[in-house]
Chain A
């Protein structure tokens, strides 16, 4: 599948100079426009009514313009002055195109947000229109630039301290960014911020820094992973004991842990599971029943470690029951059966109410009043003071969930880089050939299915205590669909991708409450657009990318390096 080509290389070569000039004008306008007022009312976004004093959001627009300016000037004036060996370090034109696209999206979001929040396009003041025009100019101009094919910065060997410093800066930046984004409650500003971050990331990748980052950090992978966890660990300390953001963060973590488990089934083993939420539900119900809640029909209240294991085992036994008859036949049956299983699970939970079946779940009322966890004397329901910072209830669960996610990541990554992971890839590639080579096709599929269910069951056990109550209507098909979307959107078979996908999908509805009615519509549109332009997901695994672009010879030829157009690619398999 190729994207339609309006601007051919031939035209680019002829009009590249004009394009550069137009883009330069656009960039200058983008830098200048934030000093003009963008809206007539100060309630829109973060008050963009002043002349000469840009608001934070306007500064973001300015930053995009400045980045574009740097790319354009560097391409024209810096590159010819460099020694030949360094001329191709950066892909300035490619970067300029990316950032111009980002700027256009940014300005469009601003105009639409102002119009929506104040009621009509008339509320957009001249500065907003000028900025949009500048972005359009920049966009059009950069289309005519001849993009560089590759940036070679990734092959430059940099000193270790520099890499570590960059890792630290990136991690700190993300921490501040996440804390800031969570505090933002104006939907317009939130989306504008997302677009800005997206544009910045794409710019960094396209211009060649992404290749540098992934090739250099490969040497320091443990450092990178540790730093990421440290940042995640530090997050509650930035919240001043407030529960509001922590509750969102814990929801994101539960969702992400479950999505990562699903990613083993979908991304690694290639099995389409449309009822995965039922395994989360099974774990949650088991934990609720064994929690000692006054509403539980069972009096036994084992220690949480035991409960977690039972939850996981019950979920995986359900997985075995569903999987063993269906995994022998081809893929589509599994999707249908799991879809049905999800529904059956919900209905069974509703009917185990003492009227239609044995009393286990209190029917649709579910099991409320689940007591908070208490591990080794640490009460998860109480705020604690650690290092002089108050850690509220949700932050306690946050730490537990971090441990859980860490565990799931280890399971995912280690299985992926093992004999079992190779078997899964082989099955995805050619099931018959894998079988003929002695791979235990059925066994590996069943293991993925039941193992994924186990992880979901464990996550469900934590979720039950976190949520305080468990009801059947939390575990509906739509949730399975969202989990699958997080996997597909983020990138099947990758860890980072699914973390990003899960975060986006859980955070957006939280921040865009006004959008609730159109949520599913927007979600559907997003998926359609993704499938058209980037079916391998935001952060693609190399292998999946190859699978989705069977006829792309150029992509296949670059096995070792990151092509500038391919975004970040997770290295796969042990080297």
Chain B
């Protein structure tokens, strides 16, 4: 993770330079307002937590940021430039994500999965690929080497030739992180990176995210595990019914009575819309 290119982008950024700036992001599905005027600012090198009960709109907010959904209204800008809601533009600008329900390319090997992440940072076109000149071969070799390097970075040096679908669950989550890192992001969006993990794996994930931050990346992480959020985050947003209820340090947010009420309230009297169990939505402490 300490390639010179990466280091260079990091050095050019001021420590508190604003990376991501979302203003009034709103997403409507028919009558349902899933995300309602959410503001979010992320500075370089920050880890921001996003919490909230099931169906609060966290994943939908991510989808709006990454261009998978086109927000009904609101603006997103990245490193000072407005961002078109197109996934490719977003990735190129420097924002990559993982998915809540793992979306790896199951029938590709782990290495190939990460190599796909390099797609937007490589340029071999049809003719180059058919002729396979020295430039093509150099780029392929670099892609391969970088992918292997990233597999090592997330702690899976030996799985390069294993099919993604044959990996254990925890490794699949880490592979998704490696694939996202392959796009050379400045900001990483992680959607429940520890869902379904045992305490030991959760601990490893924590360490991994710390190391990612040390390489100069900013991270926004959706989590239900409060201890995880507490250990990692500089700042936490609590989203309820599509809008930001509280924003502050982990201590402030965790002790805020409204947050506790929101969690207990919704999981008790609102039917679960996302199909996950109620405990998933409650803060685990």
By a beta-carbon cutoff of 8 Å, the part of chain A in contact with chain B is 410-411, 414-415, 418-423, 425-426, 429-430, 432-440, 447, 451, 543, 546-547, 556-557, 559-560, 573-574
Contacts and interface: CB of A to CB of B under 8 A. Distances in A.
Contact of B88 (A421, A422, A435, A546): A435
Interface stretch (B11-19, B49-57, B160-168): B160-168
Nearest to A545: B107
Q: Which 8 pairs of residues, A with B, have the shortest CB-CB distance?
A: A438-B120, A438-B91, A418-B129, A429-B105, A433-B103, A546-B107, A435-B87, A426-B116
Contacts of B91: 436-438
B119 A438 contact: yes
B87 A436 contact: yes
B35 to A, nearest CB: 18
Contacts of B106: 429-430
A440 B120 CA distance: 8
A459 B199 CA distance: 60
Given A420-B129, A451-B126, A439 B119 contact: yes
Contact of B103 (A411, A432, A559, A560): A432
B126 A438 contact: no
Contacts of A410: 130
B130 A425 contact: no
B120 A430 contact: no
Interface string B164-176: 0110000000000
Given A419-B122, A573-B112, A414 B105 contact: no
Q: Does more than half of chain A's interface fall in helix, strand or loop, or is it mixed?
A: helix
Given A414-B132, A437-B119, A439-B116, A559 B109 contact: yes
A418 B124 contact: yes
B130 A414 contact: yes
Contact of A547 (B87, B107, B112, B119): B107
A560 B105 CA distance: 18
Contacts of A573: 109, 112
Contacts of A414: 129-132
B183 interface: yes
Interface string B102-114: 0111111100100
A19 B68 CA distance: 60
A473 B140 CA distance: 46
Contacts of B122: 419
B211 interface: no
A437 B96 contact: yes
B66 A436 contact: yes
Nearest to A433: B103
A292 B254 CA distance: 83
A192 to B, nearest CB: 39
Contacts of B161: 559-560
Interface residues of B, number: 42
A554 to B, nearest CB: 11
Nearest to A546: B107
A422 B130 contact: no
B180 interface: yes
B117 interface: yes
10 contacts: A426-B108, A432-B68, A433-B103, A436-B91, A437-B179, A438-B117, A438-B119, A438-B183, A556-B163, A559-B162
Contacts of A432: 68, 103
Q: By CB atoms of chain B within 10 A, which of A436, A546, A559 has the most?
A: A436
A415 B126 CA distance: 7
B97 interface: yes
B173 to A, nearest CB: 14
Nearest to A434: B116
Nearest to B128: A418
Nearest to B99: A433
Q: By CB atoms of chain B within 10 A, which of A411, A419, A429, A438 has the most?
A: A438
B140 A574 contact: yes
A425 B119 contact: no
B10 interface: no
A415 B103 contact: no
Given A419-B140, A422-B119, A435-B88, A429 B108 contact: yes
Contact of A425 (B112, B126, B129, B179): B112
A418 B140 contact: yes
A447 B126 contact: yes
Nearest to B166: A556
B148 interface: no
B115 interface: yes
B92 interface: yes
Nearest to B184: A438
B186 interface: no
Contacts of B162: 559
B166 A557 contact: yes
B115 to A, nearest CB: 6
B267 interface: no
A432 B161 CA distance: 24
A429 B109 CA distance: 12
A81 B183 CA distance: 58
Contacts of B124: 418-420
Contacts of B143: 419
Contacts of B179: 437
B136 interface: yes
